[in-house]
Amino acid sequence: MLNERRKIPALNNVNLVPLLDFVVAVIPVLLLSISFFEYVSLDTSLPVFSVEEESVVTKEDNKPKIGLTVVITEQGFMIGGQAGLLSEDGNSVIKRDSKGLYDYSTLNKKLLEIKKKYPEEWSIILIPDPATRFEDIIATMDASREYISFDENGRAKKKTMFPNVVLGGGVL
């Protein structure tokens, strides 16, 4: 038998206009609903309010073992805790840098020293001054929560330090 081969006619002038209509309709919808910025969240619990001499911590999970505390003042940071916990060089005060900005990298290094000394500690209490801006509180939380370590290949990797951040509310 002879197979008759039919020639398939070339697809000339395919009507792309309906497809174009659809794409043009979808793009504005996507452009309106899309978010070009990525938002992230940071967990925290209620402020710690001390009533007279009684210390109250709202969540049992957040009960600090060594009471690591970072006070944010106008001058800079003060690291403290129970039994005179300080950074290894004995200096617990981190002043603002020459430009008047908070020195987050030094704070991060000092907290890392404490973390190495107390690896089972996961909580930290931040006590900001009432005038401290929200931006500075978030940056301090970032400096307390994790540090960046480099592996053998020189790749940067985030490692957890004090993930349970509790905001200190002051005295009632």
User: Contact letters (x/-) for another protein, 153-172, by CB under 8 A?
Assistant: -----x--------x-xx-x
> From CA 78, how far away is CA 85, in angstroms rounded?
11
In the region spanning residues 124 to 143, those forming contacts with another protein, defined by CB under 8 A, are 128-135, 137-139, 141-142
Question: Tokens in use for 13?
Answer: 């002038």
138-151 b/e (C-beta count within 10 Å ≥ 16 → b): ebbbebbbbbeeee
Kindly list the distances between the CA atom of residue 160 and the CA atoms of 55, 91, 142, 157, in Å, as whole numbers in the listed order. 27, 23, 10, 10
In the region spanning residues 63 to 82, those forming contacts with another protein, defined by CB under 8 A, are none
If binding means CB under 8 A, how many residues of this protein chain bind another protein? Answer: 49
Task: Tell me if 16 contacts another protein by CB under 8 A.
Answer: yes
> From CA 23, how far away is CA 13, in angstroms rounded?
19
> From CA 70, how far away is CA 167, in angstroms rounded?
10
Task: Tell me if 10 contacts another protein by CB under 8 A.
Answer: no
Task: Tell me if 150 contacts another protein by CB under 8 A.
Answer: no
CB of 143 to another protein, least distance (A): 9
Q: Which residues bind another protein (CB under 8 A)?
A: 13, 16-17, 19-20, 23-24, 26-27, 30-31, 33-47, 49, 58-59, 128-135, 137-139, 141-142, 145-146, 158, 167, 169-170, 172
